Amino acid sequence: MTTFPGRRLRVLVIDDSSLVRRAITEALSADPEIEVVGSACDAFVAREKIVRLEPDVLTLDLEMPRMDGLTFLRILMRHHPLPVVVVSSLAQAGSQAALDALEAGAVDVLAKPDGTMSIGTLGERLAFHVKAAAQSARFRQRRPAVAAAAPVAPAVAPAVAPVLRAGGRQIIVIGASTGGIEALRTMLPRFPRGLPPIAVVQHISASFSRAVAERLDALCSLEVREAAEGDVLRSGTCLLAPGDAHLALEFVAGAYRARLLTTPPLHHCRPAVDVLFRSAAEAGGDQVVAALLTGMGSDGALGMRAVHEAGGTTIAEHASTCVVYGMPRAAIEAGVVQRVLPLPAISDAIIEAVVRCARR
């Protein structure tokens, strides 16, 4: 199924390097569903070409002359919003700029490989993210405003917290892709520390998954950190899968432990949500609460089936708040989702499921 039935997806490439512009153009043009309609060396040339060429998606560098990419992105989102995928060397070290770009409205941020000609190695992955960005435009028009994430009062009364700590093998697992970082910034600050451990797979570049974990940690009462091999998951902690490894769980000596796997990608993704959800279902059975958030493709649907068949709780984000309604839709259409909720309601639904499971 093409992103825009009847025609190819129109992309404008913005980068100050002619070598990078050519490499990105060649990488995207290899996909029969994508047409690169033009390129621009800076924000001012880009502004003129956006009006004249009417692209569906932009790729954008952050380091450019005359006007930096982040400033251009903020202006674009105010006056002429378009789906944007940032491709920048600033993302290589997990920079603040990459996260700032997401907060400013970029759909995704990809790290530019070392060496201009190695951009072509992004290949299929770059095309995947560009298509996901294009799909997000269909839903942004009707997406209700969600308040900027900030620490908020716990969504569960302190008197209930002792019940949450008595859950045995209780575990919360969350999966997300395109738009997921901002969704996590909305959800995670609403969780109190008394919850069972949380494990998250967000499709993300290896270069800044640690920075994302650190940003989320600053917003939450939970401890949020990037998972490491053998980490013990405890109440009040949230582990985020590294951007270059699958995260799986095993239950050993009365506690969940993290396993990081370098097995091949699933659905073109490593980490993959299916790996986390399936391992949680195997280890936790009916004490698993799984939530599947915004994202392109079908990753997570098979894992949700495993949780559902094990007797766990399955929750998916409603189309009205998804940046891309792909992953939740695949799970819903598979008939393995018990509750479909808009993003602001999912935190409370997870807490309710945990309390209900603990009392049971």
Same domain, 215 and 251: yes
Q: Which CATH number goes with the domain that contains 300?
A: 3.40.50.180
Among 36-50, 81-95, 278-292, 331-345, name the one with the lowest average pLDDT. Answer: 81-95
Query: 252 lies in a domain?
Result: yes
Number of domains in the chain: 2
Same domain, 42 and 179: no
State the pLDDT at residue 99: 85
Q: Which is it for the CA torsion 345, 348, 350, 356, positive or negative?
A: negative
Closest by Cα among 108, 64, 56 to 86: 108
Query: 149 lies in a domain?
Result: no
* Active-site residue (options: 129, 203, 267, 308): 203
The whole-number average pLDDT for the span 80-100 is 79
Same domain, 48 and 117: yes
Same domain, 309 and 209: yes
Same domain, 244 and 115: no
* Active-site residue (options: 88, 89, 136, 177): 177
* Active-site residue (options: 95, 205, 299, 308): 299
Query: 3 lies in a domain?
Result: no
Backbone angles phi, psi at 126, to 5 degrees: -65, -45
State the residue range of the domain holding 211.
158-359
Mean pLDDT of the chain: 87
Same domain, 189 and 303: yes
| Annotation marks residue 203 as catalytic | yes
| Annotation marks residue 308 as catalytic | no
Segment 102-149, tens digit of pLDDT: 889 999 888 777 654 466 667 778 898 899 888 874 434 444 334 333
Segment 236-268, tens digit of pLDDT: 999 999 989 999 999 999 999 999 999 999 888
Q: Cα angle vertex 148, ends 274, 182, to 5°?
A: 20
Q: Which is it for the CA torsion 281, 284, 289, 291, positive or negative?
A: negative
State the pLDDT at residue 125: 80
